[in-house]
Amino acid sequence: TIIIGISMDLKIEKNIPIPKSALTLLKSMEVGDSVVCDTSQYRTLRTSANNSESVKVAARQLEDGLYRVWRVK
């Protein structure tokens, strides 16, 4: 007997799209485009850009604590 440790109360959901990666979002942006995001999203975007040779970003923190992130390359 194999016990997986998964509750059988799980609900199967169909046709839920897989979220795009941060790098996919950045690559879909044109140079000069920007997005406003929270700290967690900013860190994800920055890390993705830092790990990419084809995408670079610049960011500034806004007065409300959010970030504006621009694609610069």
pLDDT digits (tens, 9 = 90+) for 34-43: 999 999 999 9
Instruction: State the Cα–Cα distance between residues 73 and 68, nearest whole angstrom.
Output: 16
User: For residue 26, which of 57, 4, 53 has the smallest C-alpha distance?
Assistant: 57
- 3-class DSSP assignment, residue 11: coil
pLDDT score of 12: 85
Q: Which two tokens stand for residue 3?
A: 């016990």
Write down the pTM of the prediction: 0.73
- Joined together, the tokens standing for residue 44 give 């994800």
Question: In 3D, which of 18, 21, 17, 68 has the Cα closest to residue 44?
Answer: 21
pLDDT tier for residue 4 given thresholds of 50, 70 and 90: low
Its sign, for the CA torsion 46, 48, 53, 54, is negative
